[in-house]
């Protein structure tokens, strides 16, 4: 048995001892050694831009998340002034794309922050509202339409101080531009402009032309003190109703408590909104009148106003608005008059606004 296995074992050993011949080595390649590009150095991005001193991010503003940011961007683009605002042209370019509210919000937050304006003693400011009234008018006076809409006296210059309201109304009237109800003219003088509709249906805009230089005195508080209206019932509509019901000497006496008098010019009615002191047409619910000694026209502003104290007042107002106008009663760093728009509905709401106010200046980052 062993003799028969020996030849087989020899074959196995021989097979294990015989290794395959190695492959011939490839000849070296002539030329330089291969090179590989160096990976580029990736610089870190700039990251969020730092906030200006004393500023907070827009996301920290009360009510910011509820804002219609797309509408706010359109209002900003319409009211900004390129000569004074380095972001104005960029805002107009972005607004021309009609971005979604989310994109508009991101654009604002990437480019702006907010700095709160404060009163000297830290107390809240005050928000009131105004509107562009629309009134009937006549070319000639009658018993109801007896108050003349007057142009400025010849040679009158801004800053001149002249007679009081009562003294002007006692003078012989020069050539009038139109005739209105006395209470309507009084309110149009408070608003600073208005729209007139004549008997034949033609319309005109009565635009502010000049004033007598006297300080504005509101008649709401004196009327409440005299018992003519309740203290929480001195809305614009309530005052107008009382003046209409007492048209004549009694109403004239009350209106004379405000010595300020406004003269007008008549312009065509283009169907739009009036221009503010900045020379830019106002946008309803996106424009405010401010004190120009504290604010620059064309500045975007965030307002927050809650807890109005007049009967019928809305709970509050907040949003991005543009500083585009001023008024004789608008004084101080936290004081604004909110433009509501044209017509009776705007006027009804405007007359109920007397809210504590906070204001933030929207500044570039």
pLDDT of residue 42: 43
Task: Name 42's Cβ contacts closer than 8 Å, sequence gap at least 6.
Answer: none
pLDDT band at 33 (very low <50, low <70, confident <90, very high): low
Distances in Å between the alpha carbon of 310 and those of 156, 229, 316, 331, 342? 38, 12, 12, 21, 21
pLDDT band at 12 (very low <50, low <70, confident <90, very high): very low
Query: Going along 187-232, which residue ranges are E strands?
Result: 194-197, 203-211
Higher pLDDT, 52 or 259: 259
pLDDT band at 222 (very low <50, low <70, confident <90, very high): very high
How far is residue 244's CA from residue 241's CA, in Å, rounded to a whole number? 5
Higher pLDDT, 106 or 17: 106
pLDDT digits (tens, 9 = 90+) for 111-140: 999 999 999 999 999 999 999 889 999 999
pTM attached to this predicted model:
0.72
Of these ranges, 21-35, 64-78, 295-309, the one predicted with the greatest mean pLDDT is: 64-78
pLDDT digits (tens, 9 = 90+) for 250-308: 999 999 999 999 999 999 998 889 999 999 999 999 999 999 999 999 999 999 998 76
Q: Would you say residue 191 has pLDDT above 90?
A: no
CB 361 within 8 A of CB 53: no
pLDDT digits (tens, 9 = 90+) for 83-104: 889 999 999 999 999 999 999 9
Sheet holding 134-136, edge to edge: 134-136, 194-197, 203-211, 262-268
């Amino acid at each position: 048995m062993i003799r028969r296995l020996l030849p087989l074992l020899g074959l196995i050993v021989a097979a294990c001892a015989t290794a395959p011949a190695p492959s011939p080595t490839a000849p070296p390649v002539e030329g330089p050694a291969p090179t590989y590009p160096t990976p580029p150095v990736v610089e870190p991005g700039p990251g969020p831009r730092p906030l200006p001193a004393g500023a907070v991010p827009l996301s920290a503003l009360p009510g910011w998340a509820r804002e219609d940011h797309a509408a706010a961007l359109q209002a900003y683009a319409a009211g900004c002034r390129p000569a004074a605002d380095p972001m104005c042209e960029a805002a107009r370019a972005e607004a021309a794309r009609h971005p979604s509210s989310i994109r508009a919000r991101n654009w604002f937050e990437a480019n702006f922050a907010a700095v709160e304006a404060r009163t000297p003693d830290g107390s809240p400011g005050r928000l009131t509202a105004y509107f562009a009234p629309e009134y009937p008018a006549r070319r000639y006076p009658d018993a109801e339409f007896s108050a003349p809409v007057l142009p400025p006296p010849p040679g009158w210059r801004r800053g001149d101080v002249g007679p009081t309201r009562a003294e002007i109304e006692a003078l012989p009237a020069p050539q009038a531009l139109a005739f209105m109800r006395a209470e309507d003219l009084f309110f149009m003088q408070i608003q600073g402009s208005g729209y007139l509709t004549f008997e034949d249906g033609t319309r005109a805009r009565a635009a502010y032309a000049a004033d007598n230089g006297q300080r504005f005195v509101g008649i709401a508080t004196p009327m409440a003190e005299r018992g003519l209206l309740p203290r929480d019932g001195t809305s614009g509509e309530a005052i107008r109703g009382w003046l209409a019901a007492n048209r004549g000497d009694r109403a004239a006496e009350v209106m004379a408590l405000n010595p300020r008098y406004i003269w007008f010019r008549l312009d065509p009615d283009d169907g739009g909104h009036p221009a503010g002191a900045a020379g830019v047409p106002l946008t309803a619910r996106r424009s405010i009148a401010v004190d120009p000694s504290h604010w620059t026209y064309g500045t975007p502003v965030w307002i927050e106003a809650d807890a109005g104290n007049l009967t019928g007042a809305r709970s509050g107002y907040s949003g991005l608005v543009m500083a585009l106008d001023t008024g004789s009663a608008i004084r101080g760093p936290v004081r604004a008059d909110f433009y509501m728009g044209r017509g009776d509905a705007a006027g009804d709401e405007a007359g109920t606004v007397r809210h504590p106010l906070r204001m933030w200046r929207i500044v570039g980052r």
